[in-house]
Structure 1
Amino acid sequence: MSERIVEKRTQPYIIDLMTLYLPAKDPYLTAKWYVDVFGFDPNASSHSPLQPNTDLVVLHTASGLSLFFIQSEDKLTLNFYNKDGYNHAVLLFRVKNSEIEEIYLRMKELGVELSTDGIKDRGGCGREIAFYDPDGRKVEINTYGT
């Protein structure tokens, strides 16, 4: 039996994360929340501009990641506890360090449910805010490297 020799690669085949498909009880309301909190362009996608009574809304980040909010009754909280009991969010978006205070104030003004008290300084790992979106997903924003 011959063993297949696999050539060692210096780079992975995966280039980037392209799309997140996220369930939303009401895609319009969830997407509108992301537009209001984070300033997404509500009409950036010709596929599905922000409009009520739709089962799919697409938003695009500045880096090109597409967020698809798809109507579903499924809950996908996207968080887990590590062995020490820390509740991690799976979704972590990067924001500019110079804008995190503005985002925090906007969240407070809009009544966003925060998981952290204020902006947490993680030292060399950046500053971050943890919160919950309208579908109960724990999400974090972080300034690492900005």
Structure 2
Amino acid sequence: MRKKLLRVGTVYIPVTNVCNSLKWYTEKLGAVESYKDKKGKMAIINMASQSFFLVESPEQESMNFMDTDGNKRFSLTFEVDGPAQLESLHKELLLQKVKAGEIEDRGHPGRNFVFSDPDGNLFDVWSELSPSFKEANMLEKEQT
């Protein structure tokens, strides 16, 4: 069967203040601003080989959802290249006063931690790069 969907093009993140969020994402996560509308209601940032739209939204909106056990969950996982990079990013975010949970073992390969932006949007970070990303970027060949 041929692939019908090639990649995720854009993720929309609800935020209460686009200008403040734009500053936070660029300073804390190294995102690059690519567009900001004149009304200050939307901005586009690029990070992790992805475009993200920061969209002004009411305070109660978020990307999060509740699972059937009543746990608030994230809807997006970022990948880093190995445990050392995971630990380094975790330490860096904590030093920048970003809310981040402990590094955890969830019973699958690699380790994870969750952090949140100022609006409470949760994001996961995983220590394992997907094989297709490694292959597409020839990372395994470079490391040998």
TM range (shorter): 0.7 to 0.9
Q: Which amino acid aligns with 1:15?
A: L
The answer to whether the 8 A contact 1:126-1:145 is kept is no
User: Alignment partner for residue 55 of structure 1, among 38, 41, 62?
Assistant: 41
Structure of greater Rg: 1
Counterpart of 1:3 in structure 2 is none
User: Alignment partner for residue 23 of structure 1, among 7, 11, 14?
Assistant: 14
Structure with greater helix share of residues: 2
Tell me the percent identity. Answer: 26
Q: What TM-score, normalized by structure 2, do the two folds share?
A: 0.73
The answer to whether the 8 A contact 1:56-1:70 is kept is yes
User: Alignment partner for residue 66 of structure 1, among 51, 55, 64?
Assistant: 51
Counterpart of 1:41 in structure 2 is 32
Give 1:105 deviation, angstroms. 1.4
Cα 1:83–1:144 change in 2 (3 A) is same
Cα 1:78–1:41 change in 2 (3 A) is closer
Distance of 1:79 and 1:72 partners within structure 2: 14
Q: Which amino acid aligns with 2:110?
A: G
Counterpart of 1:88 in structure 2 is 73
The answer to whether the 8 A contact 1:38-1:103 is kept is no
Counterpart of 1:140 in structure 2 is 124
Q: What TM-score, normalized by structure 1, do the two folds share?
A: 0.72
Query: Structure 2: 5+ residue runs without aligned partners?
Result: 131-144
CA RMSD, Structure 1 to Structure 2 (Å): 2.6
Aligned residues: 129
Distance of 1:56 and 1:80 partners within structure 2: 23
Distance of 1:79 and 1:71 partners within structure 2: 16
